């Protein structure tokens, strides 16, 4: 029986309505804050298949999940990803699902934007940390700025409900571009969120040295723009400011300086099907084992998800000075 009654409520009364699903740990970029230059990726047999991902998301949406974000690694480098978008898009007709969103580095958006919109993808978040071609290459190690800018243009024209930019700001690396990135977003009628660097996985720099807080970014932006506190919520952890005389918002995702745990409504699923109850803690449930050991037993899968609510922690405890806090990279966890 298909049911969409909310059933995912944790010990602290928080209802889980949002799943972020990482569909691959592979990426065509090697962003310095995200990955090491030499990465060992997961053996393919460990990854959930696209069919398993669609099945798992059906379970979540029948349990009351309203919003799904597909991420990675780079989700658009996974073969046949357009098939997956169609499967998830169809869940809007039969489950609680209302919104299907994708986070991408933009490199494949020229190819996929139209198919994504047709499948029912509502919003895309595109990572953009610099508008300078050399620096973009340095920060992403392999990325090409002009390809990503063409992808942003394609996304704008494809008819998504919203296209948003995400920028990770690092001290001494791109903190001088906070204003330029905001101006680019506004000129293109897009929102932008600034993300504080999180200590996930070992990378080649000391995280503490590159840390640049949202408050510093906000101070810079206030000098240039008339920003009003906005009550807008997109269901995610961003705090928003409205740019006066425009329809655009500037958001901040600040796990360090502004703890957002008390309103946490989300869980993550890793590429290998591990349900993570908190980005900053190790509490998890192996959903792949259930899917593979009990094929087609949807009730058992749903019960495991319901039971997992008992171990969702109250909050994460990031400490930027600890190296690293968690050994998993964001690419596995799903940003």
Residue 189 Cβ vs ligand SAM, minimum distance, rounded to whole Å:
20
Of the candidates 47, 168, 185, 301, which one interacts with ligand SAM according to CB under 6 A?
A: 168
Rounded Cα distance between 49 and 41, Å, is: 16
Residue 33 Cβ vs ligand SAM, minimum distance, rounded to whole Å:
5
> Which residue's CB is nearer to ligand SAM, number 195 or number 309?
195
Walk across the sheet containing 123-127 and list its strands.
227-230, 239-243, 249-253, 191-195, 162-168, 123-127, 99-104, 67-71, 18-22, 266-269, 274-276, 284-286
Per CB under 6 A, 197 contacts ligand SAM = yes
DSSP-assigned states of every residue in 42-95: PPGGGSPPHHHHHHHHHHHHHTT--EEEEESS-GGGSTTHHHHHHHHHHGGGTS
Segment 305 to 334, residues that bind ligand SAM, using CB under 6 A: 330-331
CA–centroid distance for 25 within its chain? 13
Of the candidates 18, 33, 240, 252, which one interacts with ligand SAM according to CB under 6 A?
A: 33
Cβ atoms of residues 130 and 139 within 8 Å: yes
Residue 20 Cβ vs ligand SAM, minimum distance, rounded to whole Å:
9
> Which residue's CB is nearer to ligand SAM, number 10 or number 74?
74
Strand partners, 251: 193, 240
Rounded Cα distance between 188 and 219, Å, is: 23
Residue 288 Cβ vs ligand SAM, minimum distance, rounded to whole Å:
20
Residue nearest to ligand SAM (CB): 335
CA–centroid distance for 295 within its chain? 28
Of the candidates 24, 130, 166, 281, which one interacts with ligand SAM according to CB under 6 A?
A: 166
Owner of token pair 């460990």: 46
Q: Which stretch binds ligand SAM (CB under 6 A): 1-9, 191-199, 271-279, 284-292?
A: 191-199
Residue 335 Cβ vs ligand SAM, minimum distance, rounded to whole Å:
2
Contact pattern for ligand SAM over residues 252 through 291, marking x by CB under 6 A = ----------------------------------------
Cα distances from 170 to residues 46, 82, 139, 198, 318, in angstroms, run 33, 33, 10, 11, 17
Residues touching ligand SAM, count (CB under 6 A): 19
Contact pattern for ligand SAM over residues 87 through 126, marking x by CB under 6 A = ----------------xxx---------------------
Cβ atoms of residues 42 and 25 within 8 Å: yes
Cβ atoms of residues 50 and 78 within 8 Å: yes
Binding site for ligand SAM (CB under 6 A): 27, 33-34, 71-72, 74, 103-105, 127, 166, 168, 195, 197-198, 200, 330-331, 335
């Amino acid at each position: 029986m298909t049911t969409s009654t909310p059933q995912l409520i944790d010990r602290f009364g928080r209802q889980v309505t949002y799943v972020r699903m990482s569909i691959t740990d592979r990426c065509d970029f090697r962003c310095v804050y995200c990955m090491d230059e030499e990465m060992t990726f997961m053996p393919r047999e460990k990854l959930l298949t696209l069919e398993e991902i669609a099945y798992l998301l059906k379970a979540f949406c029948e349990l009351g999940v309203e919003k799904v974000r597909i991420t990675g690694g780079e989700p658009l480098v996974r073969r046949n990803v357009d098939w997956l978008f169609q499967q998830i898009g169809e869940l809007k007709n039969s489950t609680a699902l209302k919104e299907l969103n994708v986070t991408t580095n933009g490199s494949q958006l020229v190819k996929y934007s139209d198919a994504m919109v047709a499948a029912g993808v509502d919003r895309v978040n595109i990572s953009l940390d610099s508008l300078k071609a050399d620096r973009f290459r340095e920060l992403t190690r392999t990325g090409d700025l002009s390809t990503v800018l063409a992808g942003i243009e394609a996304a704008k024209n494809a008819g998504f409900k919203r296209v948003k930019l995400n920028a990770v700001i690092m001290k001494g690396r791109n903190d001088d571009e906070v204003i330029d990135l905001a101006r680019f977003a506004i000129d293109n009628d897009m929102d932008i969120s600034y993300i504080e660097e999180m200590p996930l996985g070992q990378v080649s720099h000391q995280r503490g040295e590159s840390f640049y807080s949202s408050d510093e970014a906000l101070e810079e932006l206030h000098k240039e723009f008339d920003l009003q506190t906005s009550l807008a919520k997109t269901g995610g952890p961003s705090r928003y400011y409205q740019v006066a005389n425009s329809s655009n918002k500037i958001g901040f995702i600040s796990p360090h300086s502004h703890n957002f745990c008390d309103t946490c409504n989300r869980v993550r699923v890793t590429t290998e099907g591990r349900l993570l109850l908190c980005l900053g803690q190790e509490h998890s449930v192996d959903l792949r084992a259930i899917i593979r050991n009990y094929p087609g037993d949807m009730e058992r899968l749903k019960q495991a998800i319901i039971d997992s609510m008992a171990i969702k922690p109250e909050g994460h405890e990031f400490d930027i000075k600890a190296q690293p806090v968690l050994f998993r990279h964001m690419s596995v966890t799903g940003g």
